[in-house]
Amino acid sequence: MNKVHHSVTLQTELCKGCTHCIKRCPTEAIRVRNGKAVIKSERCIDCGECIRVCPYQAKQAKYDSLEDFKDYKYKIALPAPALYGQFDKLDDIDYIISGLYRCGFDDVFEVARAAELVSEYTRQYMKREGIAKPVISSACPAVVRLISVRFPSLIDNVLPVMPPIELAARLAKKEAKKKHPDLKDEDICVLFISPCPAKVSYVRNPIGVEKSAVDGVLAMRELYFKLVSEMNKIDNPTNASQSGIIGMSWAGGGGESSALMNDRYLAADGIENIIHVLDEIEKENFIGLEFVELNACPGGCVGGALAVENAYIAKARLQSLRRYLPVSLNHPTDIGADGRLPDEVLWETGVDYSPVLRLDENRVTAMKKMAQIQQISETLCDLDCGSCGAPTCRALAEDVVNGEASVDDCIIRLKQKLQRLESEESKED
């Protein structure tokens, strides 16, 4: 398996070993060993859940800085639709776009524009005969990675259309070269302004494409204060926004689905909810469902760990901002008369099953390990208390079988063992 470059990292010196994070990780990627958290890199999907729950800010996201790209001749900002919900008393998106120019960008391409195109491509894709249903949105990279490690039977259901971030980057570069024919590829850089760490890791380990056209990812909360200060200097912003209600709605959970004009959809957000939904889809408990939109962050992208504002406040702001906008301002012109989608918007590669949760490649060995895990689990306290450093008793048993932990890490078991020894000693006396 290729090495995954993660955005989520641990600042070991800040970690107090409190175990808050181990239980919230959807892939059981975290253990506490010797008083400090450790992330099993191959299991992490960069969902950002541990960043949200760590009381000591020991889990952090790595991202780029604008300064890293200062030598590029032409810098394009790709604001995520979630950015529009971050500002108090804002009644016009053009302030944000003008503010981005003042922050040093040469051009701005709204991801919401690409989202409107993806909505139409998706509508068209859903009309295809013989596709796996329900179709699952591919927009949230943490969800696609979760499917690839935990729900391999659903890989074929994932929408094989480029997510808005990728399409926006490609269109932005194309537009820039059209506007400035003298620009060479190496002069241009496209920087996504991200609400979440999963998008940072998407750019470093793209899904569905060989190489992402996004050159760097800036954290929304890092750019925020500079952007606010520039926005405050603007009296009359230029009329620059080119997105409508549909594009902006992608910022919150349910926005992508409502653009499909098909009421047989399900939209869920928050990692626990999406695991539940994926479990139910795997068990074929949803009959007649056509589309599923899943966002790892609570509330959708507005709830990302790199956003500034509370997700629900941001959503309410977006609602009032889009009130006077047209439904959509971007429509594809490249869908074939027979409904064929252009190759440029389809995935270039598939999603691979990453069997990181599998016990062993060899089936017989895996079965043996399973039996050992069962045996060990029966000797543990079954409280899932986390004091051993593993999220559940079963996870500790698995670590023991894999040689990564000892049954004596279970403090209750250790206590019982010590009591036994003590009583044996006292009998001998």
C-beta of 14 vs 313, nearer to ligand SF4 = 14
The per-residue DSSP string of 369-400 comes to HHHHHHHHHHHS------TTSSSSHHHHHHHH
407: exposed, middle or buried (Cβ count in 10 Å: 0-12, 13-18, 19+): middle
> Given the complex with ligand SF4, which of 58 and 112 has the nearer CB atom?
58
37 binds ligand SF4 (CB under 6 A): yes
Residue (75 or 145) nearer to ligand SF4, CB: 145
In the window 140-199, what residues touch ligand SF4 (CB under 6 A)? none
| Interface pick for ligand SF4 out of 3, 4, 32, 210 (rule CB under 6 A) | 32
Query: Which of these ranges, 10-18, 172-180, 221-229, 339-347, lies near ligand SF4 under the rule CB under 6 A?
Result: 10-18
Q: Looking at 4, 9, 18, 131, which residue binds ligand SF4 (CB under 6 A)?
A: 18
Q: How many residues bind ligand SF4 (CB under 6 A)?
A: 28
- CB nearer to ligand SF4: pick between 46 and 256: 46
CB nearer to ligand SF4: pick between 244 and 386: 386
| Stretch of residues binding ligand SF4 (CB under 6 A), selected from 30-38, 107-115, 308-316, 408-416 | 30-38
Smaller CB separation from ligand SF4, 143 or 267: 143
CB of 200 to ligand SF4, least distance (A): 11
| Residue 319 per-residue DSSP state | H
In the complex, minimum distance from the CB of residue 141 to ligand SF4, in angstroms, rounded to a whole number: 12
Q: How far is the CB of 395 from ligand SF4 (least distance, A)?
A: 13
Compare residues 3 and 127 and give the one whose CB is closer to ligand SF4. 3
| 31 binds ligand SF4 per the rule CB under 6 A | no
C-alpha distances (whole Å) from 73 to each of 1, 58, 67, 107, 214 are 36, 36, 13, 11, 16
Question: Smallest gap, in angstroms, from Cβ of residue 360 to ligand SF4?
Answer: 22
Candidate list 2, 4, 5, 8; residue touching ligand SF4; CB under 6 A: 8
Q: Which of 2, 3, 13, 19 binds ligand SF4 (CB under 6 A)?
A: 19
Minimum distance from CB of 53 to ligand SF4 (Å)? 6
**Minimum CB distance to ligand SF4, residue 190 (Å):** 25
Calpha distance 40→22 (Å, rounded): 11
Instruction: Dump the DSSP string for 81-149.
Output: GGGGGS-TT---THHHHHHHHHTT-SEE--HHHHHHHHHHHHHHHHT-TT--SSEE----HHHHHHHHH
Using the CB atoms, write b or e for 104-130: b if 16+ within 10 Å.
ebbbbbbbbbbbbbbbbbbebbbeeee
Phi, psi of 400 (to 5 degrees): -65, -45
Q: Which is nearer to ligand SF4, 332 or 355 (CB)?
A: 355
User: Which string of b and e fits 298-311 if b means at least 16 CB within 10 Å?
Assistant: bbbbbbbbbbbbeb
Minimum distance from CB of 196 to ligand SF4 (Å)? 10
Window contacting ligand SF4 (CB under 6 A); options: 31-39, 220-228, 284-292, 331-339: 31-39
* Distance (Å) of CA 74 to CA 101, 131, 182: 12, 41, 11
Backbone angles phi, psi at 240, to 5 degrees: -120, -25
**Residue type at position 209:** V
295 bridge partner residues:
269
The CA distance from 140 to 196, in Å, is 10
- Asked if 220 is part of the footprint of ligand SF4 (rule: CB under 6 A), the reply reads no
Name the CA radius of gyration of the chain, rounded. 24
8 Å CB contact between 85 and 315: yes
Q: State whether residue 161 is helix, strand or coil.
A: strand
Q: Could you count the other beta carbons within 10 Å of the beta carbon of residue 78?
A: 30
Here's the x/- map for ligand SF4, 41-80, by CB under 6 A: it reads as: ---xxxxxxx---x-x-xx---------------------
Q: Which residues bind ligand SF4 (CB under 6 A)?
A: 8, 15-21, 24-27, 29-30, 32, 37, 39, 44-50, 54, 56, 58-59
